[in-house]
Amino acid sequence: MSDNDIWYLIIPIAMIFVVIAIALFFWSVKSDQFEDLDRQGSNILFDDDRDSHRQAQQHSDHDQSA
> H helices within the chain, ranges in order?
7-30, 39-45, 50-65
As a whole number of angstroms, the distance between CA 22 and CA 63 comes to: 38
As a whole number of angstroms, the distance between CA 10 and CA 26 comes to: 25
Q: What is the pTM of this model?
A: 0.52
Residue extents of the structural domains in the chain: 1-34, 36-66
Sequential pLDDT tens for the chain (66 residues) = 678 889 999 999 999 999 999 999 999 888 887 777 676 677 677 665 666 666 776 766 665 555
